[in-house]
Amino acid sequence: MATTTAPWGAIKPTALLVLADGTVIEGAGLGAAGRAVGEVCFNTALTGYQEILTDPSYTGQIVTFTFPHIGNVGANEEDVEDLVPAARTGAVGAVFRASVTEPSNYRSADHLDAWLKRRGVVAMSGIDTRALTALVREKGAQNAVIAHDPEGRFDVEALKAEARDWPGLVGMDLAAGVSCGQSTPWSETPWVWNEGYGAGAAGEPAMHIVAVDYGTKRNILRLLAGLGARVTVVPATASADDILALSPDGVFLSNGPGDPAATAAYAVPVIRALLEADVPLFGICLGHQLLALALGGRTVKMHQGHHGANHPVKDFTTGKVEIVSMNHGFAVDADSLPAGVEQTHVSLFDGSNCGIALAGRPVFSVQHHPEASPGPQDSHYLFRRFANLIRARKGEPALAER
């Protein structure tokens, strides 16, 4: 048990981060007042804090940013990634090193503090994020409560008990709670410099892609639409009959939060039925893990997870190394993959699995986020690879993957 005092020397802290082991970290509160319980992880990205905080895959987590200056470019509604913002999906808490300054960017529409308040995200600044990151690296992701009271009034013992009693993400299905409520079309295409997001591809759609929303990010859907596809988003709990009734040319399995083994209870039977129907499949993050489970593999909880925009991943199909964006606390156990399932990508940080493909079938998935543009477009070819599997089925010429 330990207590750390904020390095900025505040007389009275207005925020606390209380870990399940009894560690209490003091800081300056911002964002929403109140408290939130979740798993503490750290993200090493230098940019994209708003996209990170609104990624539904972070639901149930408190994100510590290792980059010290967060909030400098403000906030806007264009960079929100969750599909159902009213549901307040994404990170429940955020931890920063430095105080949030006034924004300085032509796209800024609001101060980060005000934006965090509107979204209900409890945040704090002024703590030694390097020390917290080192703690997570040493001990693994930590269950914790983050609390913000402008008057600095805290029941520390109650917060310790809440952090200690929270069951953690293992065994927790969160996908259904962040998914869309009903089938809906999507037409917005990727952002273009000085023009914003497109209204949709012109002309007849080249293909119909059904995206299963386990907590999808908007930019994934934009890139699918940017292929010239008609995109229909369906809830995480949609049945195989529901999906096949839409006559898809291909099905996309999205990212999302929680333990894939728990989500598998309703997702895996659907994916297996889609495999039996011989529909081209492409999965990202949780979708990758669920596909692996449907094919007979298993998933494991990682020590600290992968969260950042600077992760090197090798694609064995091309021999190239990509710099990718990662956000996952569970991983596919490569040793559990059955015969006929090939490992296509691997992390060069720790050797963990980052991609699979079903031999001889139009089915593949990746653990990383190719839509997040850290390279900035190192992994965009994966969307064209999916399109080419569909185009081959339709007897149409392939797109250039690079």
pLDDT in tens, 237-266: 999 999 999 999 999 999 999 999 999 999
Whether 170 maps to a domain, the answer reads no
Does residue 132 sit in the same domain as residue 221? no
* Residues in the chain, overall count: 402
Distances (CA, A) of 252 to 7, 59, 172, 364, 385: 46, 21, 23, 10, 13
What range does the domain containing 359 cover?
A: 175-393
Distances (CA, A) of 292 to 37, 211, 253, 315: 30, 18, 12, 17
pLDDT, residue 272, reads 98
Residue finishing a domain among 146, 165, 184: 165
CA distance 179 to 182: 9
Instruction: Output the pTM of the full model.
Output: 0.95
C-alpha dihedral over 317, 322, 325, 327, to 10 degrees? 50
Does residue 195 sit in the same domain as residue 153? no
Q: Supply the CATH number for residue 379's domain.
A: 3.40.50.880
Does residue 302 sit in the same domain as residue 388? yes
Does residue 213 sit in the same domain as residue 312? yes
Inter-axis angle of helices 218-226 and 381-393, to 10 degrees?
Answer: 50
pLDDT band at 8 (very low <50, low <70, confident <90, very high): very low
CA distance 103 to 111: 6
Nearest CA-CA partner of 219 in 174, 177, 252: 252
**Ramachandran bin of 267, using left for φ above 0, alpha for ψ from -120 to 50, beta for the remaining angles:** alpha
Structure tokens at 89: 């999906």
pLDDT band at 350 (very low <50, low <70, confident <90, very high): very high
For 204-213, the pLDDT digits (tens) are 899 999 999 9
Does residue 230 sit in the same domain as residue 357? yes
Q: Supply the CATH number for residue 22's domain.
A: 3.50.30.20
Whether 398 maps to a domain, the answer reads no
At residue 332, does pLDDT exceed 50? yes
Does residue 198 sit in the same domain as residue 341? yes
Average pLDDT over residues 369-395: 93
CB-based contacts of 359, cutoff 8 Å, min separation 6: 340, 341, 342
CA distance 78 to 120: 18
At residue 3, does pLDDT exceed 60? no
Does residue 108 sit in the same domain as residue 43? yes
CA distance 237 to 113: 35
Of 48-52, 87-91, 149-153, the least confident: 87-91
Q: What is the number of structural domains in the chain?
A: 2
pLDDT, residue 84, reads 77
For 44, counting Cβ atoms within 10 Å of its Cβ (0-12 exposed, 13-18 middle, 19+ buried), the class is: middle
pLDDT, residue 142, reads 96
Catalytic residues: 285, 369, 371
pLDDT band at 217 (very low <50, low <70, confident <90, very high): very high
Which amino acid, one-letter code, is at 153? R
